[in-house]
Structure 1
Amino acid sequence: MTGSLQIKNGKYYIVINDCANGKRRQKWLKTGLPAKGNKRRAEQMLRDVVQDYERQRGIIRSDVTLADYVRQWMVQAKRRVDEVTYQGYETLANGHILPYFDANGVKLQDVTHRQLQAYIDEKAAHGRKDGKGGLSARSLRLHKNILYQALTEAVKAGLLPSNPCQHVELPSATRHEAHFYTAQQLRKLFDAISDDPLYPLVKITALYGLRRSELLGLQWDSIDFERGTLTIRHTVTKVTTAVAKDKTKNASSYRSFPLLPEAQRIFLAALNAEKENRRLCGKDYQQNPYVFKWPDGRPFSPDYVSHHFAALLHKHSLPHIRFHELRHSCASLLLSQGMTLKDVQEWLGHSDIKMTANVYGHLDIARKQSIADTMGSLLSSNSDVRER
């Protein structure tokens, strides 16, 4: 397949020559570009059209590099995955994968397991942009996932006999130790930030153990004041500079809670503040259904919440935890009061109890102590229970 530019009636046309099955076919496509002063734009359009035709037909030049093939795969991936996922792909590809393999120059048809393993090993040792060592095991898993998916498509298209990324090994994950606040520390935090705009967000997160995306995704239809329920239906995440709306993380994330009295007071205060802000801002108020936002109606961004929370802890000389670790704090308090891991799984919206056990199993002290006390009482020398 080849392409060329032709001028007809003072405008550029793209001419595609397709020689499939030994038959030569020609297709003319309008560019809409006047011939005068638009040669470079027309040439770029020609390149884009030819590449798109090749992608649709599964045509890959024998000299295509791995980096260029990943670029082509990214175009397809953008149509298949949600915007947040694609943004993650794009960040990793542009920041790491493409620069490395552009410099490497390896062709798609020549790529080996050893070369892909060398990439992962290099990033594990020196992948951080700040020069402070390697990337995390979690990050490297995403790198491998992109390469694996792209090369799987190459196998399906008959461009490779097998996927050389299949048996690439990742470094062992270093378990992150979750930090959390005690009930006393949380009360001290609430007192310290009671006049800050972030206070209601912190309080609701601690009460319900919400994910940050779930907290910012709360809409007024999530709160039923009459029935006294709070339902998690939406999430908000950040895509580049825009706030993107998304469904909940998984089916278990969609859940309802009793509306605690303290939460009801917070939501009613937010509702009254919104009514007043609408009146003050008039037509400049940004209409949206979200609960937590600035006085002019703009929703809080996820980054603002995390960064401002860290600044508040520093300002009030409180122990540093991440905003997400308010969720851990909620879980730890539930377990300390004798709730089971199953209870915590349902409260936090985990899809699998294994996840709950992996993160919080070591905190399940109260229940284990209760079991130990029961067994100790039953089998102590002073017990009336005798073996029969």
Structure 2
Amino acid sequence: MAGYPKKDDKNGMYYFVLEAGKNLNGTRRRIKRTGFKKMSDAKAAMAKMILEIKSGKLQNKNKMSLGYFLDYWLENYVKTNTKPKTAAEYLKIVKKHLQPAMEHILLSELKSIHLQNYYNEKLKVLSAQSVTHHHRVLSKALNDAIDWEFIDRNVAKGAKPPKPIKREMNTHTVDQLNLLLKTAKEKTPVFFPIIYAAAHTGMRKSELIGLTWTNVDFETQKIYIRQTITEANGQYFFNPIPKSEKPRGVKVTGELSKLLQELKEDHDNRKNILGETFNQHNLVFCKTKGNIMVPSEISRALKRALKAAGLPDIRFHDLRHSHAKFY
């Protein structure tokens, strides 16, 4: 079984092409893998694939299940060709949704109607936007299956994913915002500061979670956004802005500046008591033990405060569009 790792002069990455026998129509079957940083990585992956072919797992593509192929795709494309956050998101979609629903369907027998039925079922529990994302992930995986010569066509092209509905933007009046913030301080004190900051700055949730004390300038009363923190599949990802981009500066209101000064004093006191293990990422908004705030917990805290205040339901993101009313 012939194979040869090579270096791609265009991007400096390594790849290999494996001669894997012939297809049913007698044409030569080639399998190509790309995206390796080292020659040794390409050789190791090629050796693993040869073993899989010899064991029969890949040789008889007509008996390969969609579940097995998705595992293969995660290992041989997603793991080596996507960013960690993207890989975590793909892993969650495959393991929590795609495989439980369709893993036993043979890849060679997968039809558009299987996908259509899947979308219809998922719409009962997920948003149209989420289901459309599942469609894109599966379509990408099936395109790679074509490149690897496991299938001849992508049946996702024949399926009709739902069209995401653009949600209406909801805002609160100044009086409603003040009532919300007062209630949040009483009902959810841990998350009150980040809700308050969102209402006073219009910053995104990921920007607030990733804000560090080094990016708060009390003299000029400005906050500088140099990174975000996002979460996917239980993992946190620090996303610095590109060095070529200038950090965005956000003006701080007098009320927020006062709150931040109180937070900083409390932070320094906790640091003195708990030591260097407290808030190792130097975050402005964190839990009582210095841990990163969970995005879903922030949203639930906002919902609790809204309900307790008797106010109309809004998303955390909607605070971005309400904050201008403070000016």
**TM-score band (shorter)?**
0.7 to 0.9
Deviations 1:325-351, CA, capped at 9 Å, x for gaps: 2123236x49xx9xxxxxxxxxxxxxx
Deviations 1:239-267, CA, capped at 9 Å, x for gaps: 44443322359x99952222332232222
Normalising by structure 1, we get a TM-score of: 0.63
Q: Answer yes or no: is the 8 Å Cα contact 1:206–1:327 preserved in 2.
A: yes
* Aligned equivalent of 1:228, options 218, 221, 224: 221
- Residue 310 of structure 2 is matched in structure 1 by 317
Q: Distance in 2 between matches of 1:206 and 1:253?
A: 24
- Residue 211 of structure 2 is matched in structure 1 by 218
- Residue 120 of structure 1 is matched in structure 2 by 115
Alignment of 1:171-186 (within 5 A): 171-186=162-177
| Percent identity (aligned) | 23
Q: Answer yes or no: is the 8 Å Cα contact 2:183–2:308 preserved in 1.
A: no
More displaced stretch, 252-261 vs 290-299: 252-261
* Aligned equivalent of 1:143, options 123, 134, 137: 134
- Residue 101 of structure 1 is matched in structure 2 by 102
1:327 aligns with 2:326: no
Deviations 1:262-315, CA, capped at 9 Å, x for gaps: 232222211111111112324663432111123332232222211222222223
Q: Note the C-alpha offset of 1:71.
A: 1.5
Q: Distance in 2 between matches of 1:296 and 1:65?
A: 46
- Residue 197 of structure 2 is matched in structure 1 by 204
Q: When the two structures are aligned, how many residues end up with a matched partner?
A: 279
Q: Note the C-alpha offset of 1:144.
A: 1.4
State the secondary structure of the residue aligned to 1:193. Answer: helix
Q: Note the C-alpha offset of 1:96.
A: 2.5
Q: Answer yes or no: is the 8 Å Cα contact 1:124–1:134 preserved in 2.
A: no
User: In the superposition, relative to structure 1, how do residues 84 and 316 fare at CA in structure 2: closer, same or farther (>3 Å)?
Assistant: same
Q: Answer yes or no: is the 8 Å Cα contact 1:120–1:140 preserved in 2.
A: no
| Structure with larger RCO (C-alpha < 8 A, sep 6+) | 2
Q: Distance in 1 between matches of 2:306 and 2:272?
A: 33
Counterpart amino acid of residue 126 in structure 1: E
- Residue 61 of structure 1 is matched in structure 2 by 60
Q: Note the C-alpha offset of 1:19.
A: 9.5
Q: Answer yes or no: is the 8 Å Cα contact 1:284–1:296 preserved in 2.
A: no
User: In the superposition, relative to structure 1, how do residues 65 and 192 fare at CA in structure 2: closer, same or farther (>3 Å)?
Assistant: closer
* Aligned equivalent of 2:161, options 152, 160, 170: 170
- Residue 143 of structure 2 is matched in structure 1 by 152
Q: Structure 1: 5+ residue runs without aligned partners?
A: 2-17, 22-48, 338-388
* Aligned equivalent of 2:236, options 243, 256, 276: 243
State the secondary structure of the residue aligned to 1:90. Answer: helix
Q: Answer yes or no: is the 8 Å Cα contact 1:123–1:134 preserved in 2.
A: no
Q: Distance in 1 between matches of 2:125 and 2:192?
A: 36
Q: Distance in 2 between matches of 1:20 and 1:192?
A: 66
State the secondary structure of the residue aligned to 1:166. Answer: helix
- Residue 83 of structure 1 is matched in structure 2 by 84
Q: Distance in 2 between matches of 1:330 and 1:119?
A: 45
User: In the superposition, relative to structure 1, how do residues 175 and 127 fare at CA in structure 2: closer, same or farther (>3 Å)?
Assistant: same
Detail structure 1 runs of 4+ shifted over 6 Å in the superposition: 18-21
Q: Distance in 2 between matches of 1:82 and 1:19?
A: 29
Q: Distance in 1 between matches of 2:59 and 2:218?
A: 59
Q: Answer yes or no: is the 8 Å Cα contact 1:124–1:171 preserved in 2.
A: yes
Deviations 1:46-105, CA, capped at 9 Å, x for gaps: xxx7457558xxx653232233222111112022223332222222212222233323x2
Q: Distance in 2 between matches of 1:311 and 1:181?
A: 16
State the secondary structure of the residue aligned to 1:289. Answer: coil
Counterpart amino acid of residue 259 in structure 1: V
Q: Distance in 2 between matches of 1:181 and 1:329?
A: 6
Counterpart amino acid of residue 262 in structure 2: A
Q: Distance in 1 between matches of 2:254 and 2:149?
A: 62
Q: Note the C-alpha offset of 1:205.
A: 0.4
Q: Answer yes or no: is the 8 Å Cα contact 2:199–2:320 preserved in 1.
A: yes
State the secondary structure of the residue aligned to 2:190. Answer: coil
Q: Note the C-alpha offset of 1:156.
A: 2.2
Deviations 1:172-205, CA, capped at 9 Å, x for gaps: 3233223221122001222333452322211210
CA RMSD between the two structures: 3.3
Q: Distance in 2 between matches of 1:134 and 1:302?
A: 20
Q: Distance in 2 between matches of 1:291 and 1:121?
A: 45
User: In the superposition, relative to structure 1, how do residues 127 and 311 fare at CA in structure 2: closer, same or farther (>3 Å)?
Assistant: same
Q: Note the C-alpha offset of 1:217.
A: 0.6
Normalising by structure 2, we get a TM-score of: 0.73
Q: Distance in 1 between matches of 2:249 and 2:145?
A: 44
1:192 aligns with 2:178: no
Q: Note the C-alpha offset of 1:123.
A: 2.9
- Residue 10 of structure 1 is matched in structure 2 by none
